[in-house]
Amino acid sequence: MKQVSIFYLLLAGHLAFAQHVPSFEEVISLRSAGNAAISPDGKNVAFTVQTADWNENRFDTEIWLSKEGNQPFQLTYTPKNSSTNPAFSPDGQWIAFLADRGDKNQIFVLRLDGGEARPVTKEEEGISSFEWHPSGDKFVFLKPEKEDKNKKEREKRYGAFETDDKEFTLSHLWEVDFKQGFPDPSERPCHETTDSLKAKAGCIEWPKARRLTDGKFTVGSFAVSPDGKKVAFSHQPDPLINSFMKSDISVLDLSDKKTSALVSNPSVDALEGWSPDSKEVLYTSNLDDTTANFYRNSKLFTISVETKTARQLAKDLDEDLGGFSWTPEGIFGSIWDFSDQIAGWNVARSEVISWKSKDGAVIEGVLHKPKNYDPSKKYPLLVVIHGGPTGIDVPTPVPGYVYPILQWLEKGSLVLRPNYRGSAGYGEAFRSLNVENLGVGDAWDVLSGIDYLDSEGLIDKTKMGCMGWSQGGYISAFLATNSDVFKAISVGAGISNWMTYYVNTDIHPFTRQYLKATPWDNEDIYKKTSPMTNINQAKTPTLIQHGEFDRRVPIPNAYELLQGLRDRNVPSELIVYKGFGHGITKPKERLAATWHNWQWFNKYIWGEAVELPLGQEKK
């Protein structure tokens, strides 16, 4: 984490004297890179780039390529959909990727030296993920099972309904051949007919996929061994979100298609990859910890495929481990940046600060200052709280999501992004500090951070606002009903009542693990940690933002908070973003949500008139 912080500080310092203040649209339109793949000879890099398509109101992902260190260029164009998961063939001559070009996600291949992309598969159910076989002559891929035919017949007679936690489709592993010189079946496909004349027509059959796994379980992730003889895969009883805690790891022998169990602990076992010699599998596990794996450390292991002997790695590393690659040089994690596009911007001037909370816990946070910061002045303060709770904020040059931080800095405010108790990056004990103390301890951390800034003479405490999304929205709601230090608050997809949340969310174990009880076992802990408990104390004008179909923090939480605030005559507004779940995933609605926050805080912090959405002129 320190290395990342240093990089961002240097970047922020380098760009501190730029002149351009980006618009909301420019911030939302920032390209982001990910899913990098390096060619076998190490000379080329393929990676995905996400861009905002304002005309189609979507975020588009396409594959870019850098050859031998030269300027990257866009490699794929998939109208209306995205291209993802780039992977080089073992000989480095092809790039394979997933794309939906009118027939669900399929595997496509493209020669590195040019030409058109061509499909390799035509699976009716679509493909979730894939890997090249080390031989280069086939792919192993994951796809869902066919929909139950009985369901369609049932709907014809009884209409549409579902039984909770009973309606799902399993996914399994398959393989399909790939021949470099084989013609493209999409150009001259054979119709599904027994017509003997089809051979004369010169039609081409699609390669037939072969099933690799079967049974009453669903495959999650998988990895083909470097020698091409085996496939390790994680699996769980069903794809329901809470079943991840029952995931195990098995190994498939490609020669005889037999599967054998490899890792079967009571809690989460997650596949990381193979050793370069194909003798061991790298994995993380919570072992027998089934009651606290949302916040306790997972542990890193290797296990011998032959002897089933496991050994733990990085025993002394106090962090939740995951996201590793095992190469001949060692075991690595990786971080990527895409920063040239902001070279002309006024970006956040950032520093990491720390203070002691009410109970003595040391809390860190990122403090952003305006470019012309004057230490003799006191500034308005906006507190932006990350989600999780096991998220983390670092000194990013362009923080945001739906909060116009750069524009508030330009307006002349400070912005504090606290890494409250429960945040990642500080070890298991710190992540556990808000167990049975959610909201309460988190509020201590925010308010003590404000007191620290005030003691340093940095802030004007008469002009402060607070906001956050998800867990950050919950903490903001808790502060709205348990303090009166803020002039305005914004609650994004936040929990207002843990009992309401518990019975509606799709991750019930999260609540049981953090509060150590169900509402029926310990009503007091649910009251202690719920913003609604002290709704009668609420005074702060509160904006509530929520996705219409949020399953993670269901929208009843928003309506409950809104009605409580209205009953207390507290200025409040609820904005529901139509068609969205827990996040705002389209650029136009993200722009709207940004405008809503800009208007709300500008009104209550700076006393400015509320502008119409999107800066429309009054008629």
Indicate if the pLDDT at residue 615 is higher than 50: no
Residues in the chain: 619
| Residue 166 vs residue 224, higher pLDDT | 224
Residue in the block written with tokens 């496909």: 189
- pLDDT one-digit tens code per residue, 383-435: 999 999 999 988 887 887 899 999 999 999 999 999 999 999 999 999 999 99
Rounded (10°) CA dihedral 224, 225, 226, 228: -80
Contact residues for 472 (Cβ-Cβ < 8 A; gap 6+): 384, 385, 386, 387, 492, 494
* Confidence grade of residue 194 (pLDDT, cut at 50, 70, 90): low
Q: Which of 550, 523, 453, 533 is nearest to 496 (CA)?
A: 533
Q: Which of 529, 355, 379 is nearest to 447 (CA)?
A: 355
Q: Which amino acid is at 119?
A: P
The pLDDT, as a whole number, for residue 98 is: 95
The pLDDT, as a whole number, for residue 399 is: 81
Strand ranges inside 254-399, DSSP E: 258-263, 269-274, 280-285, 299-304, 310-313, 325-327, 330-332, 349-356, 362-369, 379-385
Take residue 376 and report the two structure tokens written for it: 């003799």
Q: Is 125 exposed, middle or buried (0-12, 13-18, 19+ CB in 10 A)?
A: middle
Please, which residues bridge with residue 263 across strands? Answer: 249
Indicate if the pLDDT at residue 196 is higher than 70: no
The top-level CATH class assigned to 349-608 is: alpha beta
Using only the alpha carbons of the chain, give its radius of gyration.
Answer: 27
Please, which residues bridge with residue 537 across strands? Answer: none
- pLDDT one-digit tens code per residue, 524-552: 999 999 999 999 999 999 999 999 999 99
Question: What does the DSSP 8-state code read for residue 616?
Answer: P
- How many other C-beta atoms lie within 10 A of the C-beta of residue 366? 24
Model's pTM, two decimal places? 0.88
Tell which CATH classification among 2.120.10, 2.40.50, 2.40.360, 2.40.128 matches the domain 17-212. 2.40.128
Q: Which of 82, 70, 49, 54 is nearest to 338 (CA)?
A: 49
Lowest mean pLDDT across 40-44, 473-477, 523-527: 40-44
- Whether residue 256 contacts residue 277, with contact meaning beta carbons closer than 8 Å, is answered with no
* Confidence grade of residue 225 (pLDDT, cut at 50, 70, 90): very high
Cα distances (Å, whole numbers) of residue 143 to 77, 122, 212, 503: 23, 12, 11, 32
The whole-number average pLDDT for the span 436-452 is 96
Lowest mean pLDDT across 22-31, 202-211, 229-238: 202-211
Lowest mean pLDDT across 5-19, 103-117, 269-283, 325-339: 5-19
Longest dimension (CA), the chain: 89
Most confident range (mean pLDDT) of 18-32, 139-153, 192-206, 250-264 is: 250-264
The pLDDT, as a whole number, for residue 613 is: 56
The pLDDT, as a whole number, for residue 264 is: 94
pLDDT mean across residues, the chain: 88
Residue 222 to residue 215: CA distance in whole angstroms: 16
* Confidence grade of residue 135 (pLDDT, cut at 50, 70, 90): very high
Most confident range (mean pLDDT) of 79-83, 317-321, 322-326 is: 79-83
- pLDDT one-digit tens code per residue, 268-309: 999 999 999 999 999 999 998 888 888 888 899 999 999 999
Strand ranges inside 357-439, DSSP E: 362-369, 379-385, 414-419
The pLDDT, as a whole number, for residue 340 is: 67
The whole-number average pLDDT for the span 92-105 is 92
Using DSSP's 3-state secondary structure scheme, residue 604 falls into: helix
- pLDDT one-digit tens code per residue, 356-394: 999 999 999 999 999 889 999 999 999 999 999 999 988
The pLDDT, as a whole number, for residue 175 is: 96
Indicate if the pLDDT at residue 343 is higher than 80: no
Residue in the block written with tokens 């139950």: 148
The whole-number average pLDDT for the span 140-161 is 86
- Whether residue 422 contacts residue 428, with contact meaning beta carbons closer than 8 Å, is answered with no
Indicate if the pLDDT at residue 102 is higher than 50: yes
Please, which residues bridge with residue 83 across strands? Answer: 99
Residue 192 to residue 548: CA distance in whole angstroms: 43
Burial 507-529 (b: 16+ CB within 10 A, else e): bebbbbbbbebbbeeeeebbebb
Establish whether the linkage from the previous residue to 389 is cis, with ω within 30° of 0: yes
The pLDDT, as a whole number, for residue 539 is: 97
Q: Outline where 279-325 has alpha helix (H).
A: none
- pLDDT one-digit tens code per residue, 572-594: 999 999 999 999 999 999 999 99
Please, which residues bridge with residue 34 across strands? Answer: 48
Q: Outline where 456-540 has alpha helix (H).
A: 471-482, 498-504, 508-515, 523-528
- Helical packing angle, 471-482 and 440-455, nearest 10°: 70
* Confidence grade of residue 222 (pLDDT, cut at 50, 70, 90): very high
Kindly state the percentage of the chain with pLDDT values over 70.
92
Q: Apex CA 241: angle with CA 293 and CA 245, to 5°?
A: 35
- Whether residue 540 contacts residue 480, with contact meaning beta carbons closer than 8 Å, is answered with yes
Cα distances (Å, whole numbers) of residue 237 to 251, 281, 291: 16, 21, 19
Indicate if the pLDDT at residue 513 is higher than 70: yes
Residue 28 to residue 94: CA distance in whole angstroms: 33
- Whether residue 205 contacts residue 190, with contact meaning beta carbons closer than 8 Å, is answered with yes
Take residue 599 and report the two structure tokens written for it: 């208007």
Ordered by start, the domain boundaries in the chain are: 17-212, 349-608
Residue 553 to residue 506: CA distance in whole angstroms: 8
Q: Is 288 exposed, middle or buried (0-12, 13-18, 19+ CB in 10 A)?
A: exposed
The pLDDT, as a whole number, for residue 322 is: 80
Indicate if the pLDDT at residue 441 is higher than 80: yes
| Residue 470 vs residue 319, higher pLDDT | 470
